[in-house]
Structure 1
Amino acid sequence: MPRFSIIVPVFKVQGYLRECLDSVLGQSYGDFEVVAVDDRSPDGCGAILDEYADLDPRVRVLHLSENVGLGRARNAGLEQAKGDYVLFLDSDDAYTPGLLAAVAGRLAEAGDPDVLVFDHVRTHWWGRGGRSDASALLEAAGPDAFSLRERPEYAGLFLVAWNKAYRRSFFQEHGLEYGPGLYEDAPVTYRSMVLADRIVCLNRIGVEYRQRRQGAITRTPGRRHFEIFRQYEGLFGFLQERPDLVWARPLLFERALDHMLFVLSRPDRVTPADRPDFYREIRAFHRRHLPEGFTPPEGPRGTEMRLLASAPYASYAALRGLREVRAVAERNRQRTVRAVSARTRGAWYAARSRLPLDPHLVVYSSAHHGGVSGDPAAIHAMAREIAPQLRGVWVVREDVVDSLPPGVDHVTPGSARFHAVAARAAYWVNDVNWPGGPVKRPGSVHIHTHRGTPLKYMGADLLTKPGARHGFSVPQMLRRADRWDYSLVANRHSELVWERAYPCHFTSVRTGSPRNDVLVRAGEGAGRDFRLRHGIPEDHTVVLYAPTRRDYRRGGHVERIDLARFAADLGEGHTLVVRLHPTLASGPARGMGLADLARRGTVVDATDEPHVEEVMLASDALVTDYSALMFDYANLDRPIVVHADDWAAFTASRGAYLDITAEAPGHVSRSYRELTWLFASGAWRDEESARLRADFRGRFCEFDDGRAAERVVRALLLGEPMPGSATVRIPGQTVGGDLLAAI
């Protein structure tokens, strides 16, 4: 008997079906069967299913003699199911890698509950969207099982069949089955949730829910949406037969009204001509099933529910119209307030700007005001050590203020003190561009540190890559870069790239990367604190996996590796540490299993570690695709593996300044099988790996000698001669001032 039965009803999805089946059959957890139900599909779906069944004995195909619709096709598959648990998957959707292993682990941890619920991500035809509205509920659920009576807020979980695993005996014991027509998920979902004694949640994205541009019935206006009333009539008929569930009637009554009013408000479901009739049907349902003592919730939806008791459709339509008018008025008011505030701040800033520059005031920022990190942090630390007369002030977002190190002077963007500091500061240090607001005063010095050695196209080179520059203006970016006085570089490659990518009036300074000083000068025991903090045994080999974002997919995240499988394949004595690209840290990438795997101790999630240098020092090897982190990591002279399974797609969408597969810092894998072979065979740290790494270090760690931050402080902030062997190269621009002469 398999652990899971995955029921896949199929109808007119031949363009998506292979992707769906591959996402299931490619799971690292293999104890399952697929019951694929061909709902008399008129296209090539039946043949595709038979092809997969011939290739994989876990696939069984049921060909129906007539088209019965989604709900009854699921029922047909359920009759054939043999697994302990049943999962339903729509045939145009897909599982995320590692889902079934995570579900199996959570079920075992919870002692085989009745129902397990997991998250999903919407994948629109133009790209992936964000996590579901229920993600906060899933995160807050905790490890213990519960009933809906104990935690009624979980009736608000997404109302579908495919985000759950049902214990098959529970499903059959209660005679649960799907009815015909639209909204067939509602009665089954709510019946199962109120009947279940033990519900658990898995806080990870398990399904990529495809939002098709065409063909989605639920987004096709018409009278079929009136079928929602038949579905809820069946549900409340069931509740009336169960006096033991009287507690659930008010809860599900509110959810039913909310669902109906939601459908009514959607122009892609109910046509304007049908809305009065639809509203009257909601009122009729309200009269028939209003529970004693029912109290509508607060807020706009609760107001609509109160209208149902007495008001005709005209009153509802007027309320909706008034709400839209108020929303427009509020948006206009906010724009006016912002404009007046901006003019006031501008006048005040102009007045402050007439005061002399403060030669000892240095303004720092890193990672879009994300905290004290990177090259600016290394420069700030060195300035406090050798130039205490310099006063450093960090610009940080409001949401990171509480996480700042003790004693760090800071301002938040747009505040009065920010404008006071910006008006007087003689030095500005940043690793990304400052926003357009601050005006560069004559005599002030802007130092741009960048964020590592460039592999992918940047700046003006993005003009040939419209997908990669979607959402920002290259001309505006270059106007901001015109404020740079100095551009720090760690190697000649970076120097040439920055001068091409940012054709602006700045001077390239061969200082090395200040944040890499700690890597070059690392002594015995470096990274030990990180290992202790995360409970990593001293004798473990730590493999750091650092993927970068993809510009060919909306949201930037593409799941290249099943993390649970990779952690297992590394074997005993290894710990897998994952560090996502900063732009992916708050997106759905964390929900694609990483958060859950970290909670269960399968991997260590180091994405939120404030200092990536500490993460690198704690590791013994780096696996990355095309992250610039590899150029920094090479300073450690530790093995690097480049996993380049989508190099062609990456370069086509973003562009690259060198072929990292030909000039790699170590071995290159082009498939998961090759990646695991490199570690299983020991080739990841062989002589060839060391030779490749030495060549790479010689080219890209050229100016990193452990004194970069000192050079920046002494030469660019204090005007002293440049210490060490690094030099300043003037690329033909005329840059005056005593500072340059001193260097």
Structure 2
Amino acid sequence: MPRFSVIIPCFRVQGFLRECVDSVLEQSYRDIEVIAVDDCSPDGCGAILDEYGARDERVRVLHLTENVGLGRARNAGLPHATGDYVLFLDSDDTLTPGALRAMADRLDETGDPDVLVFDYARTYWWGGTRRNVLAHVLAEAGEGTFTAAERPEILDLLMVVWNKAYRRDFVEREGFAFPPGYYEDTPWTFPVLLSAGRIATLDRICLYYRQRRQGNILSTTSRKHFDIHAQYERVFAFVDSRPALAGWRPYLHAKMGEHCLDILAKPDRLPPSAKGEFFRRTAEMFRAYRPEGAEVPAELRVLEGAYAAYVVRRQAGRAARELGRRAQRARGAAVARAGRARSALTLCRPLDENLAVYSAFSHRGVLGDPAAIYHKARELAPHIRGVWVLADQEQAAGLPADVEHVILGSAAYRRVTERATFFVNNVNWPGTLVKRPGSVHVHTHQGTPLKYMGADLLDKPGARHGLDVPQMLRRADRWDYSLVANRYSELVWERAYPCHFSSLRTGSPRNDVLVDAAPGHGAAVRARLGIPGDHTVVLYAPTRRDHRRGGYVERIDLARFAADLGEGHTLVVRLHPSLATGPARGLGLSELHRRGVLVDATDEPHVEDVLLASDVLVTDYSALMFDYANLDRPIVVHADDWGAYAAARGAYFDVTAEPPGHVSRSYRELAWLFASGTWRDEEAARLRSAFRDRFCEFDDGRAAERVVRLLLLGERERVPLPAPRRSPAVRTRSEELIQR
């Protein structure tokens, strides 16, 4: 028998059906059967399903003679299921790549529980993707199995049937079935979870829940929403038939009230003439099923009164919210006026020549080039007070006590930014920050650029989506100095940001640690990440794709790559920072990290530590390759979509023609490079040497010292000149400044 039976009921979804079925049949895990139920669909669903049935023996098609609705169509498929586990997949949704393999591995790991609950992400018709906001419930459930009584928060998840895998003999033994009508998932999910002796979770996005432009059937205005009452009556009947579940009645009573009030509050669910009737029916049920002695939550006490009182309360709530918004706008205007007046007075006061303000990566912490300059300033110029700007208190939580900081937009932020002489950042400061005469703005950038930046994006409409390039350039007009690690970057930045700044050939301060790292630095990082000291560490660091909404494209099967690397290797993955909080990690990375298949280093605050801990870098087009070249360790460029990337984003040179190491254009080539040992051969060393000469030109370990001595201390005579790795070109303005 197969491991999984996937039941797909179909009705009027011909435009989405092939994508749904393909997402199942194209899974790498093949031990499955598909039971597709044509619910007497009037469109082409039946014919499409017959095509699949004719060419794939794993597909069985059932044609119902009349339309019975979603729940009973699922019931029709159940008797034909022979798999160990049953999944229900709605025919406009899709499984994510690798989902069934991840489920199978988790089921084996937990000893075949009754139910496996997995994660999902909503995909919107306009292209957006948003992960389930309660995903943390799955992550916090632990490694083993549990019951609903042990972890009742599992019942807070969306009350749907399709985010779970059910052990078939458990379903058959308990006699679970779907009732007719709307909200048919409710009297299935509650009984299943309350009855399960062993529940496991999988913290991985296994399903894309399609949000159609016209909404789903529950978004339509209809009296069928009254079905919710009958569905909860079925839930209470089930609990009444199981005396051991009696303790759940208070929870279910409150849940019913919340669910019904939520339906009533939606403007597009019930006909206006039916709302009073719906309220009264809900109130009757609420009274009838209230457990003796149970306290009614404050937000549900409205069900103990009349419908008119509910309407008055809703209207009062809306009025109060509107008054609150007006008051907030008035307060904001008053604060702005006061701020302008105070700023006008402050701007008359002299700058504090011993005050420097730092920020990095949109105020995310003490990181990158600004951090390297800050630490060197504390060493060489301790009289200069350094203050960090952070986005919120969460960013400040882990800072040492002696690191002074202010929160963006606060009064303290305004005080320091109005008086500071020095501003150091690797992104632009907010547009509201006024550059005062005499202040010095140092822009460090975020490494050497491969992809188009700044004004060059004007010819790339897809890449500049959401970016206001003219505004970006107006903010860049505040720069006094632009730091560069090589002459190539100097030319790029002066073209991409046509502003009045001076380029300084200092090198990248954040790379000082790569050049001067202590011998044991990498080993200490490995130990902290749990990597055996004798392993070869392969770092995979992909960049984002601007031509794909969300930015993430899974170019490599990470589990397969980790396995193909073999014994004695550890795969470390670090996603682009812009992908760290999106759904990308939920598509398998977090689960593979939990299982020890690889190490997810995306949250490591200092990327330099991750680079030092590795023996080889595999990347596509990430700027990390330029920093990594300082280590003189092998680099492999995986460029399977270089043409699409370069066309969409734009690139300053062809990295596949001038690479820092070997280039793979398919997974097969990538796997061969490592299996054969070619990744570290003489040709790889030759390519890396030429790349280092060009792009690590001024990185000699003293970049931060140059910045501090030249710009903060004005010690031009003590500034060490960078020693280019190749013959010098014409002297630039930055070298003239250093020598003056």
- The aligned residue for residue 666 of structure 1 is 661
Aligned to 1:440: 435
Q: Does 1:563 align with 2:558?
A: yes
Change (3 A) 1:70 1:665: farther
| Offset at residue 669 of structure 1 (A) | 3.5
In 2, the alpha carbon distance for the partners of 1:580 and 1:247 equals 45
Give the match for residue 531 of structure 1. Answer: 526
Aligned to 1:233: 233
CA separation of 1:576/1:25 partners in 2, compared to 1, >3 Å: closer, same or farther?
farther
User: Is residue 724 from structure 1 mapped to residue 718 from structure 2 by the alignment?
Assistant: no
Segment of structure 1 superposing worse, 466-475 or 155-164: 466-475
Q: 1:509 to 1:166 in 2, by over 3 A?
A: same
Tell me if the contact between 2:700 and 2:723 (Cα under 8 Å) persists in the aligned partners: no
Tell me if the contact between 2:121 and 2:131 (Cα under 8 Å) persists in the aligned partners: yes
Do the aligned partners of residues 221 and 466 (structure 1) sit closer, same or farther apart at CA in structure 2, a change above 3 Å counting? farther
Name the residue aligned to 1:5.
Answer: 5
CA contact (8 A) 1:366 1:374 kept: yes
Of 372, 386, 389, 1:392 maps to 386
Q: Report the counterpart of residue 426 of structure 2 in structure 1.
A: 431
Give the SS at the match of 1:450: coil
Please give the secondary structure, in 1, of the residue aligned with 2:654: coil
1:488 paired residue number: 483
Whole-angstrom CA distance in 2 between matches of 1:111 and 1:218: 36
- 1:667–1:684: 8 Å Cα contact kept in structure 2? yes
Larger mean CA deviation between 354-363 and 578-587 belongs to: 354-363
Superposed CA RMSD in Å reads 2.9
Aligned counterpart, 1:381: 375
Counterpart residue identity of residue 155, structure 1: L
Instruction: Identify which of 487, 493, 496 aligns with 1:498.
Output: 493
What is residue 200 of structure 2 aligned with on the other side? 200
The match for 1:643 is 638
Would the aligned equivalents of 1:508 and 1:730 in 2 still touch at CA under 8 Å? no
Partner Cα separation in structure 2 for residue 674 and residue 43 of structure 1: 44
Contact kept? 2:141, 2:151, Cα under 8 Å = no
* AA aligned opposite 1:317: V
Unaligned 5+ residue runs, structure 2?
none
Task: Measure, in 1, the Cα distance between the counterparts of 2:329 and 2:465.
Answer: 25
Give the secondary-structure state (helix, strand or coil) at the position aligned to 2:91.
coil
Note the C-alpha offset of 1:344: 3.2
Are the structure 2 counterparts of residues 93 and 196 from structure 1 closer, same or farther at C-alpha, using a change threshold of 3 Å? same
> Per-residue deviation at 1:450?
0.5
Which residue of 2 is the match for residue 696 of structure 1?
691
Instruction: Say yes or no: does 1:705 pair with 2:715.
Output: no
Which residue, 547, 552, 572 being the options, matches 1:552?
A: 547
Aligned AA (2:369): D
| Other structure's SS at 1:204 match | strand
Give the whole-Å Cα distance in 2 for the aligned partners of 1:599 and 1:337: 48
Instruction: Report deviation, 1:159.
Output: 0.8
Counterpart contact for 1:114–1:196, Cα < 8 Å: yes
Runs of 4+ deviating beyond 4 Å: 50-57, 726-733, 738-743
Cross-structure match for 2:92: 92
For the structure 1 residues 730 and 296, does the alpha-carbon distance in structure 2 shift closer, same or farther, using more than 3 Å as the test?
Answer: farther
Aligned residue type for 1:447: V
For residue 178 of structure 1, what is the aligned residue in structure 2?
A: 178
Q: Deviations over 1:9-36 (max 9, x none)?
A: 2333333333333433444444333333
Quote the Cα distance in structure 2 between the aligned partners of 1:379 and 1:435.
21
**Residue 363 (structure 1) aligned with residue 357 (structure 2):** yes
Shift of 1:387: 3.2
The equivalent residue for 1:124 is 124
Q: 1:739 to 1:23 in 2, by over 3 A?
A: same
User: Relative to structure 1, is the Cα distance of residues 268 and 717 closer, same or farther in structure 2, using a 3 angstrom cutoff?
Assistant: same
Residues 508, 729 of structure 1: 8 Å contact kept: no
Q: Distance in 1 between matches of 2:399 and 2:473?
A: 31
How many Å apart are 1:293 and its aligned residue?
2.9
- Shift of residue 44 of structure 1? 4.2
Give, in whole Å, the separation in 1 of the partners of 2:415 and 2:246.
63
Shift, 1:369, TM fit:
1.4
SS at 1:454's partner residue? coil
Q: CA deviation at 1:172?
A: 0.9
- Map of 1:253 onto structure 2: 253
Q: Pick the aligned partner of 1:344 from 338, 345, 366.
A: 338
Partner of 1:584: 579
In the alignment, residue 475 of structure 1 is paired with which amino acid? P
Letter in 2 for 1:546: A
Moved more, 19-28 or 259-268: 19-28
| Identical aligned residues as a percent | 63
Q: Which has the higher contact order (CA 8 A, sep 6+)?
A: 1
Q: Please tell me whether residue 473 in structure 1 is matched to residue 454 in structure 2.
A: no
Q: TM-score, normalised by structure 2?
A: 0.92
Decide whether aligned partners of structure 1 residues 619 and 319 sit closer, same or farther in structure 2, where only a CA change above 3 A counts: same
SS in 1 for 2:709: helix
Note closer, same or farther for the CA distance 1:471–1:209 as it changes in structure 2 (3 Å cut).
same
Superposition deviation, residue 131 in structure 1: 2.1
Separation in 2 of the partners of 1:269 and 1:732? 69
CA distance in 2, matches of 1:219, 1:159: 16
Corresponding letter in the other structure for 1:723: P
| 614-623 or 263-272, larger mean C-alpha shift | 263-272
Structure 1 residue 618: deviation in Å? 0.8
421-430 or 55-64: bigger deviation:
55-64
**Per the alignment, do residues 416 and 230 of structure 1 end up closer, same or farther by CA in structure 2, a change over 3 Å counting?**
closer
Q: 1:105 to 1:308 in 2, by over 3 A?
A: same
Contact 1:510 1:726 in 2 (8 A): no
Structure 2 Cα separation of the partners of residues 560 and 539 of structure 1: 28
Instruction: Give the aligned partner of residue 77 of structure 1.
Output: 77
What is the letter of the counterpart of residue 618 of structure 2? V
Match of 1:654 among 649, 652, 655: 649
Q: Deviations over 1:202-230 (max 9, x none)?
A: 22222111101136222222233333333
**Aligned-residue offset at 1:53:** 4.7
Could you say if the C-alpha distance between residues 215 and 679 of structure 1 is closer, same or farther in structure 2, counting changes exceeding 3 Å? Answer: same
Distance 1:544 1:327 in 2: 51
Match of 1:329 in 2: 323
What is the one-letter code of the residue matched to 1:136?
A: H
- 8 Å CA contact 1:28, 1:565 repeated in 2: no
Distance in 2, matches of 1:534 and 1:57, equals 46
Deviation at 1:597, TM superposition (A): 2.3
Alignment of 1:626-641 (within 5 A): 626-641=621-636
For residue 574 of structure 1, what is the amino acid of its counterpart?
H
* CA distance 1:718–1:582, shift in 2 (3 Å): same
Are the counterparts in 2 of residues 250 and 294 from structure 1 also a CA contact under 8 Å? yes
Say which SS state the counterpart of residue 77 (structure 2) adopts. Answer: helix
Q: Does 1:509 align with 2:504?
A: yes
Give the Cα separation in 1 of the matches to 2:738 and 2:588.
Answer: 55
Q: Deviations over 1:366-419 (max 9, x none)?
A: 111111111111112222333334332222232122212453232222334333
CA distance in 2, matches of 1:72, 1:426: 72
Q: 1:290 to 1:465 in 2, by over 3 A?
A: farther
Offset from partner CA, 1:140-165 (integer Å, 9 cap, x none): 32234332234333321111111111
- The alignment partner of 1:16 has SS state of helix
CA contact (8 A) 2:505 2:722 kept: no
2:15 is paired with a residue of what secondary structure?
coil
| Larger displacement relative to structure 2 (87-96 or 366-375) | 87-96
TM-score (norm 1): 0.91
8 Å CA contact retained: 1:127, 1:553: no
Provide closer, same or farther for how the CA distance between residues 491 and 133 of structure 1 changes in structure 2, counting only shifts above 3 A. Answer: same
Of residues 18-27 and 164-173 in structure 1, the stretch that sits farther from structure 2 once superposed is: 18-27
In 2, Cα distance between the equivalents of 1:568 and 1:54? 35
CA contact (8 A) 2:710 2:738 kept: no
Amino acid at match of 2:325: R
Q: Say whether the 8 Å CA contact 2:473–2:499 is kept in structure 1.
A: yes
- Per-residue CA deviations over 1:565-618 (Å, capped at 9, x if unaligned) read 332232222111111211222222232232232222222121121210110111
Structure 1 residue 726, shift from structure 2 partner: 6.2
Q: Classify 1:78/1:565 alpha carbon distance in 2 versus 1 (closer, same or farther; 3 Å).
A: farther
Give SS of 1:121's match: strand
